Structure 1
């Protein structure tokens, strides 16, 4: 893994949020911006951090204050747009806002951009591909320096990626990408991370190991499934399709029966989201974890260590994912990169309480 860079001060998150709102014309001249307490809750930062950010924005002429009434936009959208060549847009689509991993990605991106005199526009899109496509096409008209894309449907994204290429705007995809389509992408080593997790379960005596997907159409989950399969094959264990749960809706009744009848002793989940759901569903059915089944996730979300039973998982470094994506984007935009690169970042196995020997 490349050496981690120090994170930008937290107040920069508040500043960039206000600047992005102005750039997108969500707030315009003389509009009131959120209060210190509203910013604190919205961005999970302290009031002191917000105060420092707003003070800098006042000094830069972006906002002005009226005693007893709040802070208001001073700079026009046109004035902000003049700096568009120093703006990078990060489009993040289909990610639940309660998951802190996206915040770590943003901090990593900002850590790099801040050292290169660039600002970050952050655009959230709910799990709606049409909105994602329309947003990307709109951003192409704004003169931005480049695009960082975390897509909800990378295969469908090919429809707008062709337009991005025609505009000659550099872009990097994060985490997932359309298979068979040449793009610059930064992701973690999904295959090897999954292989290591399943190998650990095998070393602990598990020979009947299941796999549970969440969004099996996404490239990271396919890579994790391949890592699972290869670990099983290399241990000379038989492949058993009855242990595969590849649908979005997991059949918990069937899984519970398999556990009770001893047909499955461990389950590797394609992500922590699925693993935490499995943990909740199985314990509500009276299944004891890890006594009756060992459970392994992938991602290491912040909430995983605080689950009902602390989740064993594969950790990926979301801040490094953000940093390396911004770095690659700059290499492309400055002509220091050629061809299409797929950068794979390492993972770490994190063992907590959901795994035990057979």
Structure 2
């Protein structure tokens, strides 16, 4: 099975493919839960979820004591919502997708997924693919959202077709559209303010240059410094992009990262995917957290508690954001015209990666 897509969705697509190709004719019994679990090396719970959703969508029917069958008269799969995210299979993305799917399936909609890997050409492929489908709405996590977007004309085409488009995690600069996002300026502010309250004045920052969240978190970082009368030193700021992330935080760049942090007592780090790499580099050099360096990250993913260092972090709403996005999409489908903006409030989760400044 594909690594970047939830397993239950892959199983759904597999069964639908068999039905559409008449390999599972209408009225025929589908393989048992045990057979499907064994075939794909997944849990029965995962199988059950896929089958349950196909039953709710009218593709399958169940008969007590007999099993599950392909419906002779399936419901139309016309109520389809396209969902495009930068990544699918890991980090915070399965939770977001789960929240979207939960609400939409309860309201008679199915979702079709696309993944951009934060690349414009893949975003275009996803959009062109959905152009060919009869979708009722489109939920999109923006790709390289701090940069001019070369695919705007495709979004305009969806709107010309009266297909509502909802952006997650911000929207494209200069493009008026509905969006739902966490208040990343506030997130950067409370992360930095926490370190200042612990006595830190030499606070480094690592931010992403091609996503708007990185700019917003940096804005919050600046605001906290300004309010406390602390000057910002350019040498304590590091920017990275999607395409140089692996190089800048790989083992070969360990000395560069250590040199960057040499004059700092603390760090505000863009997300936990980067933070875990920084922690590994620091510990390989025999340095300790938070004694040598206090660290605040963002998202509160599984990575935040994956190592001995449990990260203080600004929690991303994850599944809740997905739920709110789906509810907003349903509202947009019902009400038609209008631009909607939903801003979600971040929360700081304090763990053991931060402490009072030494000395």
TM-score range for the pair, normalised by the shorter chain length:
0.7 to 0.9
8 A contact 1:29–1:72 mirrored in 2: no
Aligned residue runs from structure 1 range 60-139, under 5 A: 62=59, 74=70, 82-84=76-78, 86-93=79-86, 95=87, 97-99=89-91, 101-139=92-130
Q: Decide whether the 8 Å contact of 2:275 with 2:297 is kept in 1.
A: yes
1:303-322 equivalence runs, <5 A: 303-322=303-322
The alpha carbon displacement at 1:73 in A equals: 9.5
Q: Can you give the 5+ residue segments of structure 2 that lack an aligned partner in the other structure?
A: 1-5, 25-29, 242-247
Write the mapping of 1:47-58 to structure 2, written as runs, cut at 5 A.
47-48=44-45, 50-51=47-48, 53-54=50-51, 57=54
Which residues of 2 match residues 1-358 of structure 1 at below 5 A?
17-20=10-13, 28-30=21-23, 35-37=36-38, 41=42, 46-48=43-45, 50-51=47-48, 53-54=50-51, 57=54, 62=59, 74=70, 82-84=76-78, 86-93=79-86, 95=87, 97-99=89-91, 101-154=92-145, 155-156=148-149, 157-213=151-207, 215-248=208-241, 249=248, 252-257=254-259, 259-260=261-262, 263-335=263-335, 338-358=337-357
Tell me, in whole angstroms, the C-alpha distance in 2 between the residues paired with 1:295 and 1:175: 23
Deviation of 1:49 after TM superposition, in Å, equals: 5.2
- Aligned equivalents of 2:18 and 2:164: distance in 1? 24
Secondary structure at the aligned position of 2:299 is classed as: coil
- Alpha carbons of structure 1 residues 161 and 51: separation in structure 2 relative to 1, 3 Å: closer
User: Using the alignment, how far apart are the partners of 2:8 and 2:355 within structure 1?
Assistant: 47
The whole-number CA distance in structure 2 between the counterparts of 1:21 and 1:341 is 36
1:314 Cα offset (Å): 0.4
**2 CA distance for matches of 1:96 and 1:59?**
23
**Structure 1: how far apart are the matches of 2:23 and 2:105?**
27
Residues 109-150 of structure 1, C-alpha deviations (whole Å, 9 max, x = no match): 122213322122223344443232122122122111111112
2:84 aligned counterpart, secondary structure? strand
**How far did 1:179 drift?**
1.8
Structure 2-normalised TM-score?
A: 0.80
* Corresponding residue number in structure 2 for 1:10: none
Aligned to 1:325, the other structure's residue is in SS state helix
1:217-256 CA-partner distances (Å, limit 9, x unpaired): 2111111010001101110001210100013425643442
Matched residues in 1 for 2:341 and 2:23: separation? 45
CA distance in 2, matches of 1:298, 1:56: 33
CA distance in 2, matches of 1:335, 1:187: 21
- Give TM-score scaled by structure 1 length: 0.80
How many residues align structurally? 328
- Asked whether the 8 Å contact 1:304–1:311 carries over to 2, the reply is yes
Aligned residue number for residue 27 of structure 2: none
| RMSD between superposed Cα atoms in Å | 3.2
Contact 1:21/1:27 (<8 A) preserved: no
